[in-house]
Amino acid sequence: TRLEEAGVHVVYGLVNLKTHAKLCLIVRKEADGIRRYAHVATGNYNAATARVFTDLGLVTTRPAIIDDVANVFNYLTGYASALDYATLIVAPVALRRRIHELLEREADHARAGRHGRVIFKLNGLTDPDIIQALYGASQAGVRIDLIVRGICCLRPGVPGLSDNIRVRSIVGRFLEHSRILAFGARDRRRYFIGSADLMPRNLDRRVEAMTPVDDPDLQARLQEILDVNLADDTLAWTLHGDGSWAKVPSDAGVNTHLRLQELAFERARRRRPADAEPAPAPRS
């Protein structure tokens, strides 16, 4: 009501679909004309949770992504029907189908003797259909790492079923909330970030949006996050085939949350002017 009284057009979404996508579209009048910016995120637009959740967002002026974001808003406001989007993977329109296609592509690579690889970072994995597809990719020879913060209904390491799947969870100071999907060997890897976990409600009963990340520098940042999560031996727990969790034995002392803070401060120091105050050290 307060927003509407201030002149904001508030739309409550679609019947029977929760709007869970994290999208922002900005249209600005600038010196050289009208310019549009899009933000596609994994995290909520919430000041409180932003202090304790780990999340990611892409700010872009790439026309194809901006057009897709605009079409999502048109879909939500009733000005357009559901579309097959050019770059975004949108649920419930196409997310389930697209994940199947990408997993099958990796299975084809593995069956042809090439390196099939999948890494997912999620909050939850409960969808039976996607779990079966992951089992199928594992049986084809695809090496799969799943970083799942919360509930995971897949059983890793079961002979003949999921030999090539490992599952771990990071439990520490911050709540791991970002979703990253990575498909392919390093020289051809495709990365996606967005709002969706791999659960029936996300795939079938919510409006979700995943965006590709194609910039090499940003891809390197995403891979850095995945590498740190997979190397962690301080906050990490591993899931066994019988459904039990066990603490990962500490060896190198890699702490995901502390290491990502250190990397952030290193980037800040590199960009800080020489006469500026030094960046504070990360807290352990």
Contact residues for 142 (Cβ-Cβ < 8 A; gap 6+): 103, 106, 107, 109, 110, 116, 117, 118, 164
Q: pLDDT tens digits, residue range 7-35?
A: 999 988 888 999 999 999 999 999 999 99
- First and final C-alpha spacing in the chain: 42
Q: What is the pTM of this model?
A: 0.92
Catalytic residue among 20, 109, 177, 257, which? 20
Per residue in 167-206, pLDDT (tens digit) is 999 999 999 999 999 999 999 999 999 999 999 999 999 9
> So what's the pLDDT on residue 102?
98
Question: What residue spans of the chain are helical by DSSP H?
Answer: 2-5, 63-76, 95-111, 128-139, 200-204, 216-231, 256-271
What is the Cα–Cα distance from 220 to 137, expressed in whole angstroms?
A: 25
The phi, psi pair for 234, rounded to 5°, reads: -115, -45
Confidence of residue 207 (pLDDT cuts 50, 70, 90): very high
- Round the average pLDDT of the chain to a whole number and report it: 94
Residue 20 annotated as catalytic: yes
Q: What's the chain's Rg over C-alpha atoms?
A: 20
pLDDT in tens, 90-143: 999 999 999 999 999 999 999 999 999 999 999 999 999 999 999 999 999 999
284 pLDDT higher than 60: no
Pair 235, 171: CB distance under 8 Å: yes
The per-residue pLDDT for 274 is 60
pLDDT value of position 279: 61
What does the DSSP 8-state code read for residue 48? T
pLDDT tens-digit profile of 53-74?
A: 999 999 999 999 999 999 999 9
pLDDT at 81: 76
CA 284, CA 273: separation in Å to the nearest integer? Answer: 26
d(CA 59, CA 40): 7
pLDDT over 70 percentage in the chain: 96
In single-letter form, the type of residue at position 37 comes to Y
Confidence of residue 80 (pLDDT cuts 50, 70, 90): confident
